[in-house]
Structure 1
Amino acid sequence: MSETYQHRARKRFGQNFLHDAGVIHRILRAIHAREGEHLLEIGPGQGALTEGLLGSGAKLDVVELDRDLIPILNAKFATEPRFQLHQGDALKFDFNRLGAEPRSLRVVGNLPYNISTPLIFHLLSNAALIHDMHFMLQKEVVERLAAEPGGGDWGRLSIMVQYHCRVEHLFNVGPGAFNPPPKVDSAIVRLVPHEILPHPAKDHHLLERVVREAFNQRRKTLRNTLKALLPAAAIEAAGVDGSLRPEQLDLAAFVRLADQLAEHLSITATPDSR
């Protein structure tokens, strides 16, 4: 449809439209949607993945911010009874309105690089609804998501996403697969929320706080970066060597530190019983 090609990608929306048929097919194979499933596509753009997702027989909700793309998407898919279009900002979208069963929603998206991290955290706050997520992201972001302790990519994003999900870096995608081509390489990642958290924290907000403080000055030792939160004795009580740098700790160690902080705060908040 000629209308499809009249829409220019908008820089302010971070738009880079996927057009490579081989890459599209490979992504659809990785998602492997089935009839009867409930999918949510974020930022469908001109519908490169949408057609294949609907072809699986799945129910598909899509969220698109750019109003100028709405008539293009409606012209292509509005007659399909399993298709529902929501115009709006995915960062503010209430996923509960989709009426999805717990752990049933399969989320897909070629995410704009400028909102990918906050959007992933917004989705993780709704993890109880989500079965899995498949995203096209900047390759550097995927490497951070899938990182292991000890390397430079290991940080806040790795730890907080791996707290909630299993992360799989599936494959890389070059700039030529998009129009216009971005200046960076991209990659496809699969995030699967844990049914049972492998390292549950007493308070995941405290875990976020500890991780944020630790990596604010990642070249310093934990004893220095966490001194505003935890005394050296509490760090040792968590079984952590305070002379290490934050990138040397695994997720379980950060959870122990967060639990020590929870205990420390409860002790300091307890009024004198005399």
Structure 2
Amino acid sequence: MSERKLYSPRVIKEIIDEYGFAFSKSLGQNFLIDKNIIDKICDGAEIKESDQIIEVGPGIGTLTQELCKRARKVVAIEIDKNLYPILNDNLSSYDNFHLVQGDVLKIDLNTLISDYFDNDGEIKVVANLPYYITTPIIMKLLEEKIRVNKIVVMVQKEVALRMRAKPGTKDYGALSIAVQYYSKPQIIVNVPKNVFMPRPNVDSAVIMLNVYEKPIVKVEDEKFLFKIIKAAFGKRRKTLVNALNSSQLGIAKEDIISILNECNIDVKARAEDLSLDEFAKITNSILSK
């Protein structure tokens, strides 16, 4: 029996009928139906035979199937119990496939890595992420400092633009800085709505995050850095002085002005004008007082 092409709309419809599956809007299920896009995701991730892959939200296994052909091991995390028999049946010919049942946001990823992967070869995250929880998943992958070299994911185009945005642009914000603190983002390909079943309401993009071994800026307290960033962008229409002064940081206005002068930052600057490096300087200056 020949292998089913899980990206084929005809095959997907067959599977839906065979297993009585229904798409879940609440889980943001949109399956890829374009082999070209699947190849671009895998090519962008530069998957080698020695690679070990974590996939989040495999769906019926459309992307998973290609990952299994290219990588040494693929561990897919899926929350929808209705998909377990579909995945196990249609990927049964791959002995390098492992299904982990559960919510990625509740799973200890460091434990998962130690349970399934060894120290040989790179570990990469490759996935078509559910859009409603894209940001929490990305931040979990980065903040938990798991042993991952590269993250290549399909996300809403708007989110991809925010992740790679530079200071002074309309897309630049707290997410931009957080992602760029841990990694170097690069959009691989823009993806139209018509390559999914069912078709989403938004355009998508595949973004690659090359994860740094260590963050590119040094701060004395990571949590405080992000507290500063959150406060600054929480009132982004205000100048940085007023945004930080009106937050819960407990820093007097004159002290903020003094710190900005010390860091050679314009006291009239707003959050979107500042680079990650400048936020790090402000953080370290406050902590040194």
Q: TM-score, normalised by structure 1?
A: 0.91
- Choose which of 259, 262, 278 in structure 2 pairs with 1:234: 259
The residue that corresponds to 1:251 in the other structure is 276
Report the counterpart of residue 182 of structure 2 in structure 1. 164
Equivalent residue for 1:94, pick from 84, 108, 118: 108
Partner deviation per Cα, 1:177-216 (whole Å, 9 max, x = no partner): 0001101000000001112422121111111100000001
Q: Distance in 2 between matches of 1:57 and 1:256?
A: 41
Alignment counterpart, residue 201 of structure 2, candidates 175, 178, 183 = 183
Alignment partner of 1:28 is 2:46: no
Name the SS of the counterpart of 1:225 in structure 2: helix
Q: Is the 8 A contact 2:50 2:121 kept in 1?
A: no
- Relative distance call for 1:218 and 1:135 in structure 2 (3 A) is same
8 Å contact 1:103–1:127 — kept in the other structure?
A: no
What is the match of residue 8 of structure 2?
none
Amino acid at match of 2:123: L
Distance 2:278 2:68 in 1: 43
Change (3 A) 1:146 1:57: closer
Say which SS state the counterpart of residue 39 (structure 2) adopts.
helix
CA contact (8 A) 2:183 2:212 kept: yes
Task: Provide the TM-score with structure 2 as the length reference.
Answer: 0.87
Residue 127 of structure 1 deviates from its aligned partner by 2.7
- Alignment RMSD (CA, Å): 1.7
- Aligned counterparts, 1:199-214, within 5 A: 199-214=217-232
Q: Which region of structure 1 is more displaced relative to structure 2, 28-37 or 167-176?
A: 28-37
Could you tell me which residue of structure 2 aligns to residue 10 of structure 1? Answer: 24
Partner residue, 1:134: 152
Matches within 5 A, 1:1-150: 4-6=15-17, 7-97=21-111, 98-99=113-114, 100=117, 101=119, 104-150=122-168
Equivalent pair of 2:182/2:214 in contact (CA under 8 Å) = no
Q: Secondary structure at the match of 1:40?
A: strand
Q: Which runs of 5+ in 1 are unaligned?
A: 265-274
Unmatched runs of 5 consecutive residues or more in structure 2: 5-10
Q: Return the letter of the residue paired with 1:84.
A: H
Between Structure 1 and Structure 2, how many residues are aligned?
264
- 1:239: Cα distance to partner? 2.6
- Output one character per residue of 1:43-72: Cα deviation in whole Å (capped at 9) or x when no partner: 000111111111014211000010000000
